[in-house]
Structure 1
Amino acid sequence: MAVDHRSCKDIFDIPEFVQNNKAHTDSKEIQEEIKTAKRDLIETLGKCKGERDRLLKCKEEALHAVQDFRKEIDKRLDILEQNSIDSIEKKYKSIIDKINDEIQLLENTQIEVVCAKTN
């Protein structure tokens, strides 16, 4: 009587509504869909974590490769530096030795000239 004699059109009898709307998804089906969604979520989360870990490992390998390359370059630069220093030292040593010999000769000659002048 409350349903039939009201002026509101949206009023309905609950048992009648449930009976007429049996076509709606049953709670077991909803639970199964939730389980499936949860399983898919866990699987996707695992894949994302695995991909993150793989990327972090690749990053570390790339950083180590750069550091190793830097060490190799430094080693080669050290060798080039030492070779350059040795070459310069060798070149200038012979020139300086020649100049020192000439200075010694000139000093000896100067002494001889001074001695010859006093005699």
Structure 2
Amino acid sequence: MNVPWTLKLGIEEYQGKTDNDGHVNVSIPPGYSQAQMRVGPENDTEEFILRLGYLDPVELLRGIQQRLRNLGYHCPITGEFEETTRKALCSFQIQNNLKVSGEADRNTVSALKRLHGA
């Protein structure tokens, strides 16, 4: 796609062009919680604020999906309860000796908090 981009982290600034799939690949040093990204040519730039390392609350479905994915379960982060999320929950429950329901019940959410952290 070859679209120019700029990523600003504190006083550091990184620049490049998107790859053939439109992706940007930048190694971000630890300690940053936010970045500013501009994408597009100078006369038509879109700007985004990126929250780095941010997770939705575990009480929300997206937060559950994020934590399952971070723990290595195949789980898309959609905010929708679909079959893949149910299967990931079942796998998590089996591996953690929980009642297998495929639902995000209180014991499952509590185990996610304990094993993943905030």
After TM superposition, the score normalised by the length of structure 2 is 0.15
Higher relative contact order (CA 8 A, sep 6+): 2
TM-score (norm 1): 0.15
